[in-house]
Chain A
């Protein structure tokens, strides 16, 4: 027992000296989900956000990759022991682990991407959500304007709220551009089955759709492939997916995890950390947008319309629905 106390004593010295040393530059760290830091998707984008914070705000940044779902708790604790000022959990999969850690260490600040604890948010946690419907709205608007057959398609991964915001945002945008547009919708019940995405996209194309939008993770690879083979148009999601089919992907509804992370770290530095709340970042904050490659894919006149539309959304002049009920009201008002 004495030996253990000695060890504990030294551990205490080490950790406390660390936290003293850490008082000057802020330390921010993140735990990735099992995708890892080079996943070409939101984990990578999150790390880019932290690197930008390091460059522009002078914070110290580090990350910890999770290899298995069971790693989340251990990794959050590793970063806690390292004496960070703010610890990020990247992705809704980490919600349970972040909540548990936040309750265990009430003085440590945590933040999570893509999850809202709602009214139960502990005072040391901030939830970060994206107004995906705003990016999808622009994508829908572009799709409807570009369609020659007056038919566009939406393919969703699973019928969950986060995908609904894409679906109804997209539909609202398409209807905004053209009230008579026909919108085909289908769920693939998967985020990984590219073959299924291709089959659904082909089916939609055979029903006369010439633009297909997907919010379905890797299923979308199949959707874009189908559009490429049939020489139709596709719309990507989360990041600029134009590179998958440079002639066919006309735009992408992007989620800028990096910008959102940067905003929160900036708040932390300025002492305005909004603990205990969920923040919703949208077009106005640069957290959702359409892909930069869009400018080379669509006519200049349409591009101008889109940038005017962006201004209207940022000013709150257009109310974009994010669920079925909101969309029903929106569609009624449009008529």
Chain B
């Protein structure tokens, strides 16, 4: 609980820093936050966009948080995301089964490939002592260029573009996608304006998968002996080894699960939102944002869920100040940076916490 309250303080601190930056660039902070608030919650379609935006962040956040609990710093979430997206795009284009087979098949394959990719970093650490921060950063670039190379391959590349072919219709996890544009769908939605507006973005089932994943990660960490062993490794490697835990194996497994979660984020992004993959000039940042999500969420599954939604909202509605007030949207990145900065120095807010909340604790 203490960690959540501290995170909350840090968020407030970040928002304050954001207002200072806004003020310095000659924009009224209250007006900016008002635009952001209205841009986030005043229409059902905004909520839908926020959900779409937050889903990959929750999953990559879980990935980083899970590895972190095992004492591993998974910077490779970005690369694992790309591997998941790449596998989903490939399978989605080349296979065309019944959706009930197709979708689970793609999801399983993409998660499997991404978990192997994550596991590779774990194995390198366990076997050869290669630090996972170094190896995962490098694996990120390998994934990026591998994906770019495969996108351009004849037969998969969509001619005259910088993108791959679209995945088949049966691979889509978007909800009622065809019905929305069919005559019956248009007629029905016309009489339900709220739902119609909510359905405008490509709303998809990925959020359900993200919620399930959050629950399962919580289950693994808190209700299984496997999770207990993982956490033991995270808290003290030597103690865990002394207690008879196979530390090397646990590290590899942990990275595999982390990789699988990021891969799920990539796969659902392709299957629900983008429907294809494009040449990437640089990393898109889903994985790196996952690190922020994990830190703000205090590395706990449900904390990650909340902070994932928080960051998704900030990133979606924050962009709106650009066109509305001609404010630099980089302010949002500065805010997120400031929040993480505050989280990195817990002693900054701990006195505040003691002052306001220690009374309650004494009573306990």
Contact = CB atoms under 8 A, between A and B. Distances in A.
Chains A and B are bound partners: yes
Interface of A: 4-5, 7-8, 10-11, 14, 29, 34, 62-65, 67-71, 73-75, 77-79, 81-82, 92-93, 104, 160-161, 189, 191-192
B323 interface: yes
A63 B323 contact: yes
B38 A14 contact: yes
Given A93-B162, A192-B281, A65 B319 contact: yes
Counting chain B residues whose Cβ lies within 8 A of the other chain, the interface size class is: 35 or more
Contact of B319 (A4, A7, A64, A161): A64
B309 interface: no
User: Which of B49, B273, B323, B326 has the most C-beta atoms of chain A within 10 angstroms of its own C-beta?
Assistant: B323
Contact of A69 (B278, B323, B326, B329): B278
A73 B274 CA distance: 10
Nearest to B317: A78
Contact of B322 (A11, A65, A161, A189): A65
7 contacts: A8-B193, A14-B42, A62-B324, A67-B284, A68-B285, A82-B323, A160-B159
B160 interface: yes
A191 B162 CA distance: 10
Given A73-B201, A74-B49, A161-B160, A64 B323 contact: yes
Contacts of B53: 74
A140 B337 CA distance: 49
Given A8-B194, A189-B152, A29 B323 contact: yes
A62 B38 contact: no
User: Which of A67, A68, A79 has the most C-beta atoms of chain B within 10 angstroms of its own C-beta?
Assistant: A68
Contact of B42 (A7, A34, A75, A79): A7
B311 to A, nearest CB: 13
A77 B273 contact: no
A257 to B, nearest CB: 19
Given A63-B322, A64-B322, A64-B323, A69 B274 contact: yes
Nearest to B38: A14
Nearest to B42: A11
Given A4-B194, A62-B323, A73-B201, A78 B39 contact: yes
A236 to B, nearest CB: 20
Interface string B259-287: 00000000001000110001101001100
Contacts of B281: 34, 192
Contact of B269 (A65, A70, A81, A104): A70
B172 to A, nearest CB: 15
Contacts of A78: 39, 319-320, 323
A82 to B, nearest CB: 6
Interface string B301-336: 000000000000000100110111010010000000
A70 B274 contact: yes
Nearest to A5: B194
User: Which of B159, B278, B320 has the most C-beta atoms of chain A within 10 angstroms of its own C-beta?
Assistant: B320
Nearest to B41: A7
Nearest to B269: A70
Contacts of B329: 65
B102 to A, nearest CB: 22
User: Which of A8, A69, A73 has the most C-beta atoms of chain B within 10 angstroms of its own C-beta?
Assistant: A69
Contacts of A191: 162
A290 B160 CA distance: 26
Given A11-B43, A79-B323, A189-B152, 9 more contacts: A8-B44, A62-B323, A69-B284, A70-B273, A73-B202, A74-B49, A74-B53, A81-B43, A92-B161
Given A63-B322, A70-B269, A82-B324, A77 B194 contact: no
Contacts of A73: 201-202
B45 interface: yes
Nearest to B45: A77
Interface in B196-242: 200-202
A10 B274 CA distance: 32
Contacts of B319: 64-65, 67, 71, 75, 78
Contacts of A71: 319
A161 to B, nearest CB: 6
B326 A62 contact: yes
A7 B284 CA distance: 34
Nearest to B193: A8
A67 B320 contact: no
